[in-house]
Amino acid sequence: MAPKRKETEDPAVQNLFEELEPFFDGILVSMKSFSLAERAKYQQTFTDFLTQSGSNFYEAFINKFRDRLKDGFQTSMKKMKDVPIDENFPKIIKEDLDRWEYAKSAILVLFKPLDYAMGNGASLTIDMIVKDKWNTDYLHTLNDTFELTTTLTRVFSDSRRSGNKMSVLPVKNILMLYKRENIVTRGQIPLIKTFEDAFCKTSNEDYKVFATEFFKEGVHGFLPQAKQFMEDEEFRIENAMDDEIGEKMKKRLQNDFLKVSLQMVYEKYDEILEQDKELEFQAITRLFGPINQLDKFAEKTKASFMNYCQNKMENAVKQSPEFIRNYPAVVSLLFELLDRLEKMQQNYFLSNPIFKSRLDTAFKDALITNKIVDLSDKKDEVFPRILANYSHMLLKKGSKIEPDQEKVKENIVKLGKVLQFVGNRDVFEMVYQKNFQDRLVLGLMESSDLEMYMINELSNICDRQVSHKLHTTFQEYNQSGDILEKFKGYCAKGNVQLPKFDFNVVVFSNSSSQNQNITSYNMPSQLKEVFDKFSEFYKTTQNKKLTLNHTSSTGVIQFSWLRRPIQITCRFYQIGLLMLFNDNKEITYAELGTKTALSNDDLAICMSGMVSKGLLSNSTGKEFKPDSVFKFNMAFKPKMTKLSVMQADKEYVEKEQQKKNDAESEQLEETRNYVIQAKQVRIMKQRRTMKYVDLINETIEHLRSRFNITSRMARKNIEYLINKEYFKRSDSDREVLEYLA
């Protein structure tokens, strides 16, 4: 046990420290190097004093030793008192720390024998003072003298203002000591924590000052400078602090920095959107993207773009009330909006996924809202129909939309992109398939390469079955020429006499063809004979029955009694009607209906086209009555040698179109019900049991990309499948469905 300290100082200890003063002065002040002889001399001095001192010598020596160290610290601090507190201050402190580190090592070497001789049982040794107490005493003295927390944060502020990031590097050595020694303030708060708080506070305050200056150059000038400020701060943290402290401070800094930056930029964002400056958007994306702070900007951008789309649509309608009927103009507007969308996503926001998702949603919502038309129930079907009909105009022979094939391909690609944002894609599929068959059957196809290009583009967008149908239809069209040649060979082999008129046949299977409402029609004997013989041939060779599609069939009649022959393109029904005038100079409307068995609507449409072009005369003008008398106009002298009588008057066209629309709506509903039922059966077959409401939700989730399915539609088809005994309600829970194998 160490002896108790005397009230009075031991004279031997006092004498010893007078002898050691040159050593302390050399070690603690000038960092003097001592030779081996000098060390031996001082160690001999320790030995002599040990033999002369009292029993309390060692403890008295330890207390005197600590007092001398503190005096050394105070002397050192007084020498640095006039050092300016600037960015060089940490470097000076580091040099002082290095000097004290040298002193520590020298003292340990010199006093080791003394420590060994007197340290047995002592509560405190020189080794313990140097290793454990030295740093604490020095750091407390340093902090009290220089108010270190304030001083070092000021060094960081000066570094920001001067732009010299390297000036803070020596701070790391100081902070590491404070962290390692766990120095606390008088309030028992770790000094390192105090410094951390002060640093973040001054950083935030400095940034607000700088940000005001940055904004003088506008948002574009602000953002790069703000980004550079953040990067410089992170450099200071990473290089002036250890990893643990640095990570904590970076998180705090980012949080404070973001609050200020986001607030300032977001307040200006409406102005940025209005000015539409590409560089501003890029700067925002680069600054806030890596730290996942783009959501607020993306939401405001989404609303702005949707408003932009809707305004474009409304303005187009204001300029031209008939805009909706001008398919190329509507699609051109959609392409313009698509270009704007892609420019914003790729150029403005650098393909950032957050902005891309929000802008995609805005475009979809704008197309669904559809400010071009003011319809209540079928507004969401307008764009799919327009896109399908535009495709028909683009691809058919003699198209005036875009004569260059490369441009046509570009438009096809754009059309495919727009189609991905349009709801009720099945409407497009239905109308496109019908138009596609019409181009093939009526000889309106401009290029087989373009048709295949379009089909391949749609295969990436539309339902797989639709793509398969289109490929099959095109394949069957190409095979129809071979079938016709085989038919002619079949007739020649059987000595079958074919009529003198030319004809062409296209055969489509049920799987690829569009369902058509086949109306009753009494064909002229010459036409019926050809169809019957071809049906017989096809039945013999393919073992399949054929159905003639009247509505998709057309023909060309040539009149040769005039000075110059003329060719008239007709509907299939019109050919039969005109052939009746071979045996009748005049014929009534009622007789035409009786002889052809056509419905009144079909007959009126056919007669309207021929009367309006002057090919036939009507005793009642444009009005059709049972007793209306029609005659062939022998004075008919058209200005052109080729013309069409397929187009009826407007009132009949509207009736015909309404009839087609009703048929399409009926077909569409039937197809959708089939698709819904097929999906529900597949889901239940896999799950076996499922809650009623879950089946509704999953059905909607699976099919919403194809058409706008409602819960009512899903529920209606579930009930249908229950009635057909595909499912049944569980006996234990009526809200649970069970699949019936």
Between 132 and 714, the more confident residue is 714
Q: Is the pLDDT of residue 532 over 80?
A: yes
> Across the strands, what pairs with 556?
569
Q: Beta strands 727-729 and 689-691: pairing type?
A: unpaired
Cα 574 off chain centre by: 53
Q: Is the pLDDT of residue 181 over 70?
A: no
Which of 396-405's residues contact partners 24+ apart within 8 Å by CB, and which partners? 396/439, 396/444, 396/445, 396/446, 397/443, 397/444, 397/445, 397/446, 398/446, 399/446, 401/328, 405/447, 405/449, 405/450
Q: Is the pLDDT of residue 378 over 90?
A: no
pLDDT given at position 562: 65
Identify the weakest region by mean pLDDT among 84-93, 455-464, 512-521: 512-521
pLDDT given at position 35: 72
Q: Is the pLDDT of residue 461 over 90?
A: no
Radius of gyration of the chain (CA): 48
Q: In the chain, how long is the greatest CA-to-CA distance?
A: 158
Q: What is the mean pLDDT of residues 474-497?
A: 86
Q: Is the pLDDT of residue 325 over 60?
A: yes
Count how many residues are written for the chain.
Answer: 741
Q: Alpha-carbon distance 487 to 536, whole Å?
A: 10
Q: Alpha-carbon distance 504 to 502, whole Å?
A: 7
Residues 42, 23: contact at Cβ < 8 Å? Answer: yes
Q: What is the mean pLDDT of residues 700-711?
A: 88
CA distances from 205 to 219, 260, 291, 638 (A): 20, 10, 21, 88
The two three-digit tokens of residue 123, written as one number: 């509560």
Q: Alpha-carbon distance 614 to 63, whole Å?
A: 130
Identify the weakest region by mean pLDDT among 71-85, 322-336, 499-513, 518-532: 71-85
pLDDT given at position 5: 43
Q: What is the mean pLDDT of residues 353-376?
A: 83
Q: Domain 657-739 classified CATH 3.40.50.620?
A: no
By the 10 Å C-beta count (0-12 exposed, 13-18 middle, 19+ buried), 37 is classed as exposed
Identify the weakest region by mean pLDDT among 179-193, 503-517, 619-633, 648-662: 179-193
DSSP label at residue 739: E
DSSP label at residue 344: I
Q: At 64, which amino acid appears?
A: K
Asked whether the CA dihedral 141, 147, 149, 154 is positive or negative, the reply is negative
pLDDT given at position 196: 76
Between 193 and 391, the more confident residue is 391
pLDDT digits (tens, 9 = 90+) for 329-343: 999 999 999 999 999
pLDDT classification of 356: cutoffs 50, 70, 90 = very high
pLDDT given at position 133: 60
pLDDT given at position 144: 74
Q: What is the mean pLDDT of residues 80-98?
A: 70
Instruction: Tell me the three-class secondary structure of 629-691, residue by residue.
Output: EEEECCCCCCCCCEEECCCCCHHHHHHHHHHHHHHHHHHHHHHHHHHHHHHHHHHHHHHCEEE
Asked whether the CA dihedral 567, 571, 576, 578 is positive or negative, the reply is negative
Identify the weakest region by mean pLDDT among 416-420, 510-514, 521-525: 510-514
Q: What is the mean pLDDT of residues 731-740?
A: 90
Asked whether the CA dihedral 201, 206, 209, 211 is positive or negative, the reply is negative
Q: What is the mean pLDDT of residues 324-329?
A: 89
pLDDT digits (tens, 9 = 90+) for 295-304: 999 999 999 9
The per-residue pLDDT of the chain, averaged, comes to 82
Identify the weakest region by mean pLDDT among 142-151, 184-193, 237-246, 254-263: 184-193
pLDDT given at position 717: 94
Q: Phi and psi for 567 in degrees, rounded to 5?
A: -115, 130
Q: What percent of the chain is predicted at pLDDT more than 90? A: 22
Q: Alpha-carbon distance 249 to 254, whole Å?
A: 8
Q: What is the mean pLDDT of residues 685-700?
A: 92
Domain ranges of the chain: 1-146, 148-292, 295-477, 554-648, 657-739
Q: Is the pLDDT of residue 69 over 90?
A: no
pLDDT digits (tens, 9 = 90+) for 664-675: 888 888 989 999
pLDDT digits (tens, 9 = 90+) for 580-628: 988 888 999 999 999 999 988 889 989 998 998 888 999 988 889 999 9
Between 659 and 137, the more confident residue is 659
Identify the weakest region by mean pLDDT among 39-43, 82-86, 196-200: 82-86
pLDDT given at position 9: 62
pLDDT classification of 347: cutoffs 50, 70, 90 = very high
Say which CATH class 554-648 falls into.
Answer: alpha beta
Q: Alpha-carbon distance 504 to 399, whole Å?
A: 23
Q: Alpha-carbon distance 741 to 726, whole Å?
A: 7
pLDDT given at position 335: 95
Q: Alpha-carbon distance 138 to 66, whole Å?
A: 11
pLDDT given at position 376: 45
The two three-digit tokens of residue 485, written as one number: 């040649």
The two three-digit tokens of residue 113, written as one number: 């024998």
- The secondary structure of the chain in percent helix, strand, coil, rounded to multiples of 5, reads 70, 5, 25
Question: 295-477 with 657-739: one CATH topology?
Answer: no
pLDDT given at position 2: 41
Between 378 and 410, the more confident residue is 410
Q: Domain 1-146 classified CATH 3.40.1000?
A: no
pLDDT classification of 705: cutoffs 50, 70, 90 = confident
Q: Domain 295-477 classified CATH 1.10.1510.10?
A: no
Tell the residue number behind the tokens 């090919």, with chain if given: 615
Between 140 and 593, the more confident residue is 593
pLDDT given at position 3: 40
Q: Is the pLDDT of residue 445 over 80?
A: yes
Q: Alpha-carbon distance 442 to 96, whole Å?
A: 98
Q: Is the pLDDT of residue 185 over 70?
A: no
The two three-digit tokens of residue 477, written as one number: 């069209």
pLDDT given at position 170: 72
pLDDT digits (tens, 9 = 90+) for 545-570: 888 887 778 888 887 766 778 888 88
The two three-digit tokens of residue 426, written as one number: 């099945």
Q: What is the mean pLDDT of residues 203-225?
A: 77
What does the CA dihedral 86, 87, 90, 96 come to, rounded to 10 degrees? -60
Q: What is the mean pLDDT of residues 100-129?
A: 69
Q: Beta strands 736-739 and 727-729: pairing type?
A: antiparallel
Nearest Cα to Cα of residue 160 among 100, 235, 266, 98: 235
User: Between the ranges 101-110, 306-315, 550-559, where is the mean pLDDT highest?
Assistant: 306-315
Residues 606, 595: contact at Cβ < 8 Å? Answer: no
Q: Is the pLDDT of residue 422 over 70?
A: yes
> Across the strands, what pairs with 571?
554
The two three-digit tokens of residue 579, written as one number: 């052939």
pTM of full prediction above 0.85: no
Q: What is the mean pLDDT of residues 527-546?
A: 87
pLDDT given at position 57: 66
The two three-digit tokens of residue 647, written as one number: 């187009």
